[in-house]
Amino acid sequence: MFIVDTSDTYYLDKIYEDMDKLCSKYSDILSMKVIGKSVEGRDIVALKISGEKDEKNYKSKPSVLFTGGIHAREDFSVMLCMKMIDYYCRYYSEGKDFESYDVKKIIDAVDLFFVPVANPDGLNIVHHGIEASSNYEKLKTMQIWGEDHTYWKANANGVDLNKNFDDGNWEIRTCVPGTEIPCSDRFKGFKANSEPETMALINFCNENHFSLMVTYHCSGNCTFWADSGTHGMFNGLDEKIMDELNKKYIYRKTKVSIDPKIYGCGFENWFRARMKRPAFCIELSPFVEGGKQHPDNMFDKLVWEHAKSTGLFFAEKAAEIDDEIFGDAEKYAALTK
């Protein structure tokens, strides 16, 4: 029996409860670590799926990071991360293939890390309103770009986390008129890396040196996979992965992002620039005008049916990247200069 229920809204308390249940049920392969605290003091949790080690030929495994919930109102991304953890652990334990992927073989070879809720305070605001925030006195003065609190994307400081990362473009990153101050979305912060949620992800990446990273968002059924500032360093490997993803899944291949004033300071852009490894931003579900995702009860139909094996796909790619890039010491040294 599966633990994660995505038939309707997946509240934060239940998510934390399910994390504990999953780690208890699959304690042999699943572990949990608090990697930071949110503005309001909530845990930012990472979960790691790691299978058997080859003790005879043991070396550090390739690894991949999956991140959800950077934007509060995009909780499809949270639901996907949690449900993938549930399914992958179950199929590993039972020795079964999942969507034609050999789950045990993949997880024994690659470590899968998940940060399902990168912005827990924002998710709480979306589900329960700004009145439920301990930062209410500050939040009540902020502009909400949308009909109500369910349109909230930012953290509890009114900072859009996906515009707060210091990828070298923060100073030139433009703000839409009206979003130059804290609000529900698109405010980049008063300085780069200013938010505790941003720093939690940065520190976690610096500690683990992931082979690649995937961040899930909504909406558009497309993938942002390259920007002009970093695309050239991968010698076509990022595009090779993107083309395989596009062939296997419904997520449309976008053009290389050209203008850092527009694309800069997202988590995926920071990861490419600072970690010097590929990163992919997948926009789940069909495009919705106005930015708000579809109702939560449509997750299984619009997201799960299409994205459920993407974690295993990217885990395989992480192993390939280790061989193609990081197996060549001279190439890696040149890449990281």
12 domain residue, yes or no:
no
pLDDT at 263: 96
pLDDT, averaged across the chain? 94
pTM of the model: 0.95
Q: Residue 59: which CATH number?
A: 3.40.630.10
Residue 261 lies in a domain: yes
Prior bond to 184 cis, omega within 30? no
Question: What pLDDT score does 289 carry?
Answer: 86
Q: What is the pLDDT of residue 326?
A: 60
Per the structure, the complete domain to which residue 160 belongs is given by 29-335
10 occurs within a structural domain: no
Question: Is residue 49 one of the residues assigned to a domain?
Answer: yes
Give the Cα separation of 88 and 45 in Å (integer): 18
Q: pLDDT at position 264, please?
A: 96
Q: What is the pLDDT of residue 328?
A: 52
**Cβ density class 264-273: b for 16+ within 10 Å, e for less:** bbbbbbbbbb
Q: Using CB atoms within 10 Å of the CB of residue 177, give its burial: 0 to 12 exposed, 13 to 18 middle, 19+ buried.
A: exposed
The domain tally of the chain equals 1
Structural domain includes residue 294 = yes
Residues in the chain with pLDDT < 50?
A: 55-58, 329-337
6 assigned to some structural domain: no
